[in-house]
Amino acid sequence: MKLKVEQLAAQLNKSLSPLYWICGDETLLCQESADAIRSNCKSQGFSDRQIFTIEKGFNWENFSQATSNLSLFSEKTLFELRLNTAKLEDAGKKAVQRFLDGANPDSIVLITSPKLEASTFKTKWFKSFENVGVVVQIWPINAEQLPQWLKQRLQKNGINADHEAIKILAEKIEGNLLAAMQEIEKLRLLANPENKQTIQLNAKTVMQVVADNSRFNVYQLIDAALLGDAEKSLRILNALKLEGTMPLLLVGAISRELRSLLPMVERVTKGQSINGIMESHRVWFNRKQAVGRALARLKTAQIWQLLKQSKLIDQSVKGLSTANPWDELSSLVLMLCGTKTAIMSDSP
């Protein structure tokens, strides 16, 4: 069965397929589709998850043994095959076919790959997969589709935007959906400080809130802190302060980063390799150095302490504490860098 990305949710609500293949080069939509499948599998009792990164020289016997060694009392398992190329070698085709022939209701395979060539869809082996599984072919959002896509995403975040506001946002992100989601998050945090259920957004507000990428260095701040570069981190933080960046935006971004680090740090404490952990959590290549250093340095208790301090900063921004948000942010950033600093006040 071949589906469009917007049809996937309805299919998942009906029943789970033994095989899902997500293919495409639109990173955000591919990630979201895979996450939807993982979430649905988990809700239906697939508590175990095994990930295989398919690179040149991969031993397909490892996959075949994993899928065939499940006993009557084994946990329901989601097997992920992450292809780095759009081609599946013969050994891989045979291994996946053996899995499908086994028809084990307690196992599901999720394949993710770049965009497939049109000729692939016409091959006999692919049609056999398609007959029993679900293929989600993800296409990039074109310029004509982008305004409607942005409108829907904004509404999901409680934002009603007028035509001009959406037009400005579309021009800024230039088709980069990951950048679009970052900008929507900025708008949600900065244009809605009172956490209203729904906010109205016009062109003027967008112009005020959405800064140029050359000035918006929140993610540069986070990476510098993960690398442990205290001097650079404070320099970026001070620049953001001078540019008028809202503290709420910074603490929100840092908190999200900490929450994403937490499960990875827990796996490090169990003796798993940092490179393997980053691969399974799909850390982007250009962030592996920063994240890797943080994983080697931070402990679980430190992450929880940093999250606690983030919450206190959030309270100070909202006027629930007399602490200075920028002073507390400086301390938080230094703590994330690994620099010893005085424990921030935790008084309400």
DSSP readout, 146-190?
HHHHHHHHHHHTTEEE-HHHHHHHHHHHTT-HHHHHHHHHHHHHH
Question: How many residues are recorded in the chain?
Answer: 348
pLDDT at 348 over 70: no
Task: Return left, alpha or beta for 139; rule: phi > 0 is left, psi -120 to 50 is alpha, else beta.
Answer: beta
Render pLDDT for 205-242 as a digit per residue (tens, 0 to 9).
Answer: 787 666 544 344 688 899 999 999 998 899 889 878 87
Q: What is the pTM of this model?
A: 0.60
Most confident option among 57-71, 85-99, 261-275: 261-275
According to CATH, the topology of domain 2-138 is: Rossmann fold (3.40.50)
Residue 344 has pLDDT above 60, yes or no: no
Q: Which CATH class is domain 218-337?
A: mainly alpha
The C-alpha atoms of residue 337 and residue 294 are separated, in whole angstroms, by 8
Q: Report DSSP letters for 229-240, one per residue.
A: -HHHHHHHHHHH
Query: 186 or 335: which carries more pLDDT confidence?
Result: 335
Residue 245: both structure tokens together: 């960046």
Q: For 171-183, what is the mean pLDDT?
A: 80
- Return the CATH number of the domain spanning residue range 146-209: 1.10.8.60
Mean pLDDT of the chain: 86
| Terminal Cα distance for the chain, rounded | 55
**Do the Cβ atoms of 9 and 36 come closer than 8 Å?**
yes
Q: Per-domain residue ranges for the chain?
A: 2-138, 146-209, 218-337
